[in-house]
Structure 1
Amino acid sequence: MAFLLLYKFKETKNYRTRFVVIMMLTTLGFIAGFVYAEKIMSYSEGMTFQDKVIYSKTTQYQRIVLTKNSRELRLFLNGNLQFSSADEYRYHEALIHPAMQGQPNAHRVLVLGGGDGLAVRELLKYPQLTSIKLVDLDPGMTNIFKKNEMLLQLNKRSLLSPRVNVINTDAYNYVRNDSGSYNVIIIDFPDPSNYSVGKLYTNAFYKEIYRLLADNGVVVVQSTSPYIGRRSFWCIDHTVASVGFHTIPYHVYVPSFGEWGYILATKNYSWKNEGQLPAGLRYINTATINDMMFFPPDMQEEETEINKLNNQVLVHYFEKDWGPYAH
Structure 2
Amino acid sequence: MLFVHPATGIEVAKGKFDSLVADADIRRIESELSFVQVKASMSTRARMQQVKNEICANRRQIAYSRLEAVAGAENPYSLIQIFGRGHLIVKAGAAMYVTHCSPVDVLPRTGTNCTEEIPVRWNNTDLFVDPISFVIQSAGTISRCNDIAPSRFQIAGRWYCMFPEMRECGAPEELPVQAVKIDEGKTTGLGLGRSIYTQDQIQAFVDFQDAHQVRRAYLAETAEIAYAGRGPNGEWGHGLGGLASASVVSLVGSHLIPLYAVFGPAAVIIIFSLFLVGVIRLVATLIIRVITIIRVRGFGLWVLAAIWGTAFQIALT
TM range (shorter): under 0.3
Query: TM-score of the superposition, structure 1-length normalised?
Result: 0.26
Query: TM-score of the superposition, structure 2-length normalised?
Result: 0.27
Q: Which has the greater radius of gyration?
A: 2
